[in-house]
Structure 1
């Protein structure tokens, strides 16, 4: 019985940790969500640099006290509402989403929010952009 309880607890813990995607899995899922194919090399580069393709990542505290969430490390000062909500009291929540929704296995919320950020601020919204601005490996082998 104890072993069963431990297995159930581990299963629930695994659900909350998100998943680690591959470059090609990310590219294919983003393409299915309508992301233009000619942007996928940039998005996969950003995801690799920001989270190593992990969906459940919350970054360490930034110098301004904010945190970054999910596969694209989306900031809670501007783009999502942190779970500590009202007491935190300073998120602009531009994507109108709870930050915890960026940590699930599904990348739908992450992609929609990241696309909004990219449209509003460009690729340089990600500090890792300098690694992803130039010749990148083709994603053609993913399809």
Structure 2
């Protein structure tokens, strides 16, 4: 009986952990959202290095006490509001938990805003994604 209760609890908690995408599924979803195709290889590289394509990731504490959220590891000091009540500029006007769901729309829109304001170098992993990258054409 205890094993059954544990299994039920894990099954109910599973959605809270987000989903794991792959390069092509991310590229296709972002393309469907209108992200320019010439950016998709860069976005998939960033997602790979930031979260290993996992939507439910909250990164470890940064040196300033902030955390990074979701598939693109978006920072809660500047871009989203954490549940802790900690101060945030919240430039994307959303809860950080909105970046942890299976639906990546909020993550993509916020990441595009970051790109528009700070460029690709806003992501520390950009050094792995600058330059020539494998084509995403085989994903379509």
Identify the TM-score tier after normalising by the shorter chain: over 0.9
Partners of 1:49 and 1:92 in 2: CA distance: 25
Cα displacement (A) at 1:131: 0.8
Q: How does 1:64-75 map to 2 (within 5 A)?
A: 64-75=64-75
Q: Are residues 1:95 and 2:92 paired?
A: yes
In structure 2, list runs of 5 or more residues that go unmatched: none
Cα displacement (A) at 1:4: 4.5
Q: How does 1:38-53 map to 2 (within 5 A)?
A: 38-53=38-53
The normalised TM-score by structure 1 is: 0.94
Q: How does 1:1-143 map to 2 (within 5 A)?
A: 2-85=2-85, 88=86, 90-143=87-140
Partners of 2:139 and 2:6 in 1: CA distance: 38
Deviation by residue 1:92-124 (Cα, 9 ceiling, x = unmatched): 000000001101111011000000000011001
Q: Which runs of 4+ in 1 moved over 4 A?
A: 1-4
Cα displacement (A) at 1:6: 2.9
The answer to which of 54-63 and 9-18 deviates more is 9-18
Deviation by residue 1:42-87 (Cα, 9 ceiling, x = unmatched): 00000000000000000000000000000000000000000112xx
Query: Cα RMSD (Å) of the superposition?
Result: 1.0
